């Protein structure tokens, strides 16, 4: 790589890093504000809050990195043209492929990063996030219960304790209305949460369990000295965690368990998620190419570049819309798989054709126009009357 190419690469990489950090920071803050309920409403620690928000970073980076590369390419080319450096390079006989080389080096790096994140890091972060949220919701006594307050879960379970003495809860009341035709009430003088084999249990002491059927006047009361309640049973997400397609590893998407109920119901989503991951690395290269097509040609200060930038932005938006449409189509039919890869590949091919053959095509078009004008006889001015 020549000194000039390293100079261009340095400018582009600096702009890319600045855009990536700025955009990721802004969007991460908005995501973090949405998770403030972990601190305020569910009583989690700052470490859990930072863990939850940090696990969303791989997904953010995979989406933002191609856009940051696009913006960095526009910035670099616009700066080079504004300082008349593009004009000097063009006048010195520098071909478009030489100017494209440093951008290709950075695009290759970004494609590698996006590919690794999409195929490995992002599904792993989604799995960790799902397990963490499931654990938080399952241990609702430690996360949501407040002294002297009644809390009611979405499935109809109500919990209350009078006060807290050290690690023990005093004056416990629990009402289980998950089954509409049967009500179960737990009363205990004290209780304490314990964790065993990854599950949270509430050990009640000196209390009773009351059961009443909806269609019966009779009720049963059982007194106990010690009674253990599995808290995960009262959480609607209790039991084995069933991961969504985007939370599965790439290997699990490539070789799914065809007998699994979720796979049978959402086979199209499994297929779409797999090919979305495998094609994600193409988009940084496509976006860089489109930006180069718009601003890669040297222009004078009198030639406006606003239309070229607007055209590149429109092309990017159109490409992403077509990509989302292809992903939606793949979820319905496997015949649309080629469209997921075809959208970015067609954009890359057309952009590369315009970059390499664009100057020759414009020169030939100018010659044709000149020859056509030469064939038109010039009109002599009409004689003026004295």
Task: Give residue-wise pLDDT tens across range 163-174.
Answer: 888 778 888 888
Which helix H or strand E contains 297, and what residues bound it? none
pLDDT at position 71? 94
| CB-based contact 212:182 (threshold 8 Å) | yes
pLDDT at position 210? 87
In angstroms, the Cα distances linking 93 to 77, 291, 292 are: 17, 22, 18
Q: Tokens representing 242? A: 């069933």
Secondary structure letter of residue 16 according to DSSP: H
| CB-based contact 111:288 (threshold 8 Å) | no
pLDDT at position 191? 86
Which helix H or strand E contains 236, and what residues bound it? none
Collapsed DSSP state (helix, strand, coil) of residue 99: helix
Helix, strand and coil content of the chain, in percent to the nearest 5, comes to 60, 15, 20
What's the CA gap between 176 and 36, in Å, rounded?
A: 29
pLDDT at position 238? 47
pLDDT at position 367? 58
Q: Where are the alpha helices (DSSP H) in 83-205?
A: 85-91, 96-116, 122-138, 140-143
In angstroms, the Cα distances linking 382 to 95, 269, 369, 385, 386 are: 48, 75, 27, 9, 13
Q: What is the pLDDT along the chain (386 residues), one digit of tens a residue?
A: 688 888 899 999 999 999 999 999 888 888 777 766 555 555 566 777 777 778 888 989 999 999 999 999 999 988 888 777 777 887 777 777 888 899 999 999 999 999 999 999 999 988 888 877 766 665 556 556 677 777 776 667 788 888 888 778 888 888 888 777 788 888 988 888 777 766 677 888 888 888 877 676 767 888 888 888 877 666 655 445 677 888 888 888 888 888 888 888 888 899 999 999 999 999 999 999 999 988 877 665 555 577 888 889 999 999 999 999 999 999 888 888 999 999 999 999 999 888 887 655 555 555 555 555 666 655 555 555 54
| CB-based contact 17:76 (threshold 8 Å) | no
Which helix H or strand E contains 32, and what residues bound it? helix 3-34
Cβ neighbours for 359, distance < 8 A, ≥ 6 positions apart: 96, 297
What's the CA gap between 137 and 41, in Å, rounded?
A: 12
Which helix H or strand E contains 48, and what residues bound it? helix 46-54
What's the CA gap between 64 and 386, in Å, rounded?
A: 74
Write the Ramachandran bin of 308: left for phi over 0, alpha for psi from -120 to 50, otherwise beta: alpha
| CB-based contact 152:236 (threshold 8 Å) | no
Q: Tokens representing 284? A: 């940084």
- The closest alpha carbon to 69, from 11, 113, 110, belongs to 110
Q: What string of DSSP letters covers 189-204?
A: EEEEEEEETTEEEEEE
What's the CA gap between 233 and 186, in Å, rounded?
A: 14
In angstroms, the Cα distances linking 55 to 47, 245, 249 are: 12, 17, 15
Q: Tokens representing 210? A: 């009351």
pLDDT, one tens digit per residue, over 301-334 is 555 577 888 889 999 999 999 999 999 999 888 8
In angstroms, the Cα distances linking 331 to 26, 254, 306 are: 32, 15, 38
Q: What are phi and psi of 192, to 5 degrees?
A: -150, 140
pLDDT at position 138? 58
Cβ neighbours for 29, distance < 8 A, ≥ 6 positions apart: none
pLDDT at position 110? 95
Reported as half-sphere exposure (CB side, CA atoms, 13 A), residue 12 has a value of 26
Paired with 165 in beta bridges are: 168
Collapsed DSSP state (helix, strand, coil) of residue 348: helix
């Amino acid at each position: 790589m020549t000194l000039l190419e390293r100079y261009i690469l340095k400018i582009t990489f600096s702009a890319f890093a600045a855009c990536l950090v700025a955009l990721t920071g802004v969007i991460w803050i908005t995501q973090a504000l949405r998770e403030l309920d972990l601190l305020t409403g569910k009583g989690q620690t700052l470490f859990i809050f930072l863990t939850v928000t940090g696990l969303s970073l791989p997904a953010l980076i995979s989406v933002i990195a191609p856009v940051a590369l696009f913006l960095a390419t526009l910035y670099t080319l616009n700066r080079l043209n504004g300082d008349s450096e593009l004009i000097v390079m063009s006048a010195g006989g520098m071909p478009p492929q030489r100017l494209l080389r440093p951008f290709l080096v950075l695009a290759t790096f970004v494609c590698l990063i996006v590919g690794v994140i999409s195929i490995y890091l992002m599904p792993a972060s989604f799995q960790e996030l799902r397990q963490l949220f499931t654990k938080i919701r399952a241990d609702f006594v430690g996360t949501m219960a407040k002294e002297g307050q009644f809390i009611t879960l979405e499935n109809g379970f109500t919990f209350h304790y009078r006060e807290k003495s050290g690690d023990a809860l005093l004056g416990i009341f629990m009402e289980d209305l998950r089954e509409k035709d049967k009500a179960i009430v737990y009363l205990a003088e004290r209780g304490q949460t314990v964790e065993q084999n990854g599950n949270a249990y509430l050990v009640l002491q000196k209390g009773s369990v009351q059961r009443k059927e909806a269609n019966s006047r009779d009720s049963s009361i059982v007194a106990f000295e010690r009674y253990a309640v599995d808290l995960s049973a009262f959480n609607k997400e209790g039991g084995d965690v069933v991961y969504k397609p985007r939370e599965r590893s790439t290997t699990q998407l490539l070789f799914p368990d065809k007998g699994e109920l979720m796979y049978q119901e959402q086979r199209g989503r499994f297929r779409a998620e797999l090919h979305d991951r495998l094609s994600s690395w193409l988009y940084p290269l496509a976006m860089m190419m489109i930006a180069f097509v718009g601003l890669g040609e040297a222009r004078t200060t009198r030639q406006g570049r606003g239309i070229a930038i607007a055209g590149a932005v429109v092309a990017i938006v159109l490409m992403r819309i077509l990509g989302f449409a292809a992903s939606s189509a793949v979820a319905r039919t496997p015949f649309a798989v080629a469209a997921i890869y075809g959208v970015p590949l067609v954009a890359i091919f057309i952009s590369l054709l315009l970059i390499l053959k664009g100057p020759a095509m414009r020169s030939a078009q100018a010659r044709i126009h000149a020859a056509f004008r030469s064939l038109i006889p010039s009109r002599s001015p009409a004689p003026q009357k004295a």
